[in-house]
Structure 1
Amino acid sequence: MTDRHVPSTGLGSPDGSTELDSSELSAMPLEFAAFRELHHPRYLSYARVWFHEPAQAAAIVEQAFRALAGVWREVLGSPNPAAAAWQILRTTVAEQIAHRDGPAGRTASERPDLPEQRSAAMDEDLAILHYVVGLATPEIADVVGSDSASIASQLRHAFRHEAADW
């Protein structure tokens, strides 16, 4: 199994510190803490592809986890919590890319408001997670909340149709 994700160096907080304080840790539901522990390193690796400055990538991942914490009960009750959490991360990253690059800098995959753009964004995400971050198909399925067969199929599709753009 290949997993070359960047190790987590801390939990981070919006004030720039890298650790949650004791009150935040004690208030965090156990399920959320476990989910965060599992997904934080891979989310951080994904963000590092878009934001090369480690502190900026960590801050964006922290922003996504704080947004996730705000809707955790709803996410946990959803049919696919991992997919819902991935969408929160992807939206947070896309918003920060748009903020950084401005409206002219956005590509179709960063504007998932039409079905074909959502598909292009997912293909791009899967390619990043597999070819750049180095995750195996089952790990990608776990991170984005899908099944391995679908991920393998989408990766083949993305490779056939978009490899020239890479």
Structure 2
Amino acid sequence: MNAKHVHPSQPEGIPPGRPGRKLGPIDAGVAASHRLWLEVLRMRFFRSGLTISDLSERSGWSKSKISELLRGTGLYPRWEITCSLLHVLGVPTWPVRRLWAAAAREAQKKPEWIDSCIQGVALHVGPDTPPVDHRAFTEMHRPAYTAYARTFLRSDAQAKRTVDEAFDALWLRWDEALTSSDVVKFSWQVLRRSVMARTPRLDGHPELTGAAFGTVALSEKKAPAEKFAQFEESMALFAAVSRLPAHHLDVMVLKHMRGMSDAAVADVLGVPVVAVSSADHYAQQHLTTALRSERAPEGTPSDSDH
């Protein structure tokens, strides 16, 4: 029987008819880096046909400990038990160890604790470098992925870490990516989820305050009053951009904030060039209407009211 395909935007699912007690969802409080490797581990578990009891017998860890780890509850798991489950499920250990360490740092674990957990645990599942085609894909798309991440995240360092983690997660799912309908689209969703998981939110939408500060207009020599007025205008614009549908938002960020051509954006998103042009046209129309409506004095009908 073929493995059930799981779309990257829906990383969890339990096949029907599975014996034993169903595993609960990932705890809502699990941080982004932790969730990244935990989702992959859970997907492998769901597809393996094994039960929690099977994992317990094969790894030597108790069912309660395994269930806790797979749900992300309790304390952040030690590398020893994590690695044991990776071995049982045949998950490559090298990329997960990097993701595990990044998540441990995010969980405020001290470097000494991380090092002591890792020491003495053998890594013998999978190669220590990604496949050649994955490395080529990474080299090709890293600049655009990093530019996209820098638009939303607080610092260049955080953007770089997020992209590195996304490529490690993609390594873990590379076979799935290659068998998907489009490897570029699949990979973009992996990257996008990693970025959005770390992006500050304002009223439920991605916050683009940093992008507003970084506009070219704000860097020009202007009087303070003019700069403040420009900042207000930029904030209104970027607030409207943040409320666009995901695809239109991505096109606007890559094309207008990162200066990429339609063809380059299409290559990154895995869509036809005409789809980029169409999304750009729609987004600009929507933004024009939204900003005109916002600037209209109270009680004055906007063009959309006619």
Please report the TM-score for the alignment, with normalisation by the length of structure 1: 0.72
Unaligned runs of 5+ in 1: 1-12, 17-23, 110-118
Structure 1, 24-33 or 88-97: larger mean CA deviation? 24-33
Larger radius of gyration: 2
Name the residue aligned to 1:54. 156
Are the counterparts in 2 of residues 129 and 135 from structure 1 also a CA contact under 8 Å?
yes
Unaligned runs of 5+ in 2: 1-97, 103-125, 208-243, 292-306
Please report the TM-score for the alignment, with normalisation by the length of structure 2: 0.40
* Corresponding position: 1:137 with 2:262: yes
Higher helix proportion, which one? 1
Name the residue aligned to 2:249. 124
Query: Would you say how many aligned residue pairs link Structure 1 and Structure 2?
Result: 135
TM alignment of 1:79-158, pairs within 5 A: 79-97=181-199, 101=200, 106-107=204-205, 120-158=245-283
Name the residue aligned to 2:145. 43
Are the counterparts in 2 of residues 108 and 120 from structure 1 also a CA contact under 8 Å?
no
How big is the shift at 1:35?
0.3
CA distance 1:107–1:44, change in 2 (3 Å): same
Q: Which contiguous aligned blocks of 4+ residues in structure 1 show a shift greater than 6 angstroms? A: none
* Corresponding position: 1:64 with 2:189: no
* Structure of greater relative contact order (alpha carbons < 8 Å, 6+ residues apart): 1
Are the counterparts in 2 of residues 108 and 121 from structure 1 also a CA contact under 8 Å?
no
Could you report, residue by residue, the CA deviation over 1:129-162 in whole angstroms, capped at 9, with x for unpaired residues? Answer: 0001111011111101101011111111111112
Structure 1, 119-128 or 54-63: larger mean CA deviation? 119-128
Aligned-residue identity in percent: 29
AA paired with 1:66? D
Could you report, residue by residue, the CA deviation over 1:14-62 in whole angstroms, capped at 9, with x for unpaired residues? Answer: 568xxxxxxx996211100000000000000000101141111001111
In 2, distance between residues paired with 1:146 and 1:87? 13
CA distance 1:123–1:91, change in 2 (3 Å): same
Could you report, residue by residue, the CA deviation over 1:53-111 in whole angstroms, capped at 9, with x for unpaired residues? Answer: 111100111111111111001101211100000011111111112xxx36x653189xx
